[in-house]
Amino acid sequence: MGKMDGRVALITGGASGLGLEDARVLAAEGAKVVITDVQDDLGEQAAAEISGVTYFNHDVRDEARWEEVIAETLDQFGRLDTLVNNAGLVRFANVEELDYDDFRLQTEVMLNGTFLGCKAAIPHMSRDGSGSIINLASVAGLKGISAIPAYTAAKAGIIGMTRSIAVHCREQKYRIRCNAIAPGGIVTPMTAQALAEMPEGDAGLDQVNNHGMGQPIDVANMVLYLACDDGRHITGTTITIDNGETMA
């Protein structure tokens, strides 16, 4: 039997990168997986290629669409056990150069989108008696990175919000766990683009040289651990997957 047999997972930003690898791993362990994204071609391709995966178009900034996605998931599968708030993007510019529209876009997708997902999912998870929420943060939320202030702010906010949600669920006796994962550099299309945009001498390039790049499976394995019964006694924490970067 798979570790996720009989369970249903919803993964935002699931058409590529970390979210896509999460979908592969959870589906391989028996879960029915709904991936959502705004990259329709990639999302539909993933659903066609991975058994047990369904794709919905979904802008995580849209509160009404969150309600629809949860309702569609429940209509199709009857339950929701795991939510992975993974959708994200990054724009490079320091605080003096960053355009306010880019700042808002990044924080709305990652911080606001994570909030809306938790808010929409918790009533249905609590109705079913248990659940696991996994929020994708970053080492950027644990240390200062001058080139990505909006991304850093969003990821730090996700870490704090994760703790608050975990405490709320415990106080309400919902049996819903809420944790964050903070990866360092991982080989994904987003990070490939980011590295290509970095100027020579940027601190982010030092990170890659000193700590190397992880693979999406390194994060997906932790998503599986937190989603299944193996992680049943873990809530309110942030787990770093960074090859020691935050120790420096």
Residues belonging to the active site: 151
Please state, in angstroms and rounded to a whole number, the distance separating the CA atoms of residues 154 and 106. Answer: 7
Residue of 220, 221, 226 lying closest to 238 (CA atoms): 226
Cβ atoms of residues 64 and 116 within 8 Å: no
CB 202 within 8 A of CB 147: yes
Distances (CA, A) of 177 to 2, 66, 122, 165: 20, 20, 10, 9
Structure tokens at 110: 């990652």
Q: What whole-number distance in Å separates Cα of residue 18 and Cα of residue 184?
A: 12
Cα–Cα dist 33/127, whole Å: 19
Q: What angle do CA 21, 150, 236 make, to 5 degrees?
A: 60
Measured distance CA(127)–CA(217) in Å, rounded: 31
With b for 16 or more beta-carbon neighbours within 10 A and e for fewer, the 126-139 pattern comes to: beeeebbbbbbbbb
Can you tell me the distance from the alpha carbon of 21 to that of 9, in angstroms, rounded to the nearest whole number? 13
What do you get for the CA distance between the two ends of the chain, in Å? 41
